[in-house]
Amino acid sequence: MYAFTCTEPHPGVNNGFIDLEHQIRALEKRKKAGKYAKKVKAKVRRKMHEMENTLEPDEFADLWKGED
């Protein structure tokens, strides 16, 4: 349980401590959401890079097509 000391009385105060578990959980959720957004952004950047820098077809790709 996470708690901070408080000098002034507030609703939900127990013996001078404020229970902030819900706020900490909210911060953790925001952090996870930030991770997801970062991954999506990286994926989009990678796709854009691949589209801008396409590989030229290999000149020897069809050399061995008839063999099998």
Place of tokens 């952090």: 31
Q: What is the pLDDT of residue 25?
A: 87
Assigned domain for 26 exists: yes
CB atoms < 10 A from the CB of 20, how many? 15
Q: Which pTM does this prediction carry?
A: 0.46
Tell me the average pLDDT of the chain.
Answer: 77
How many domains in the chain? 1
Assigned domain for 65 exists: no
Identify the domain containing residue 21 by its residue range: 3-52
Q: Which two tokens stand for residue 35?
A: 């991770």
Q: What is the pLDDT of residue 64?
A: 75
- Smallest CA-to-CA distance from 52 within 60, 64, 44 is with 44
Assigned domain for 10 exists: yes
CA angle centred on 31, ends 44 and 13, rounded to 5°: 160
- The model's pLDDT over 6-21, given as tens digits with 9 standing for 90+, comes to 555 555 555 444 568 8
Q: What are residue 21's DSSP bridge partners?
A: none
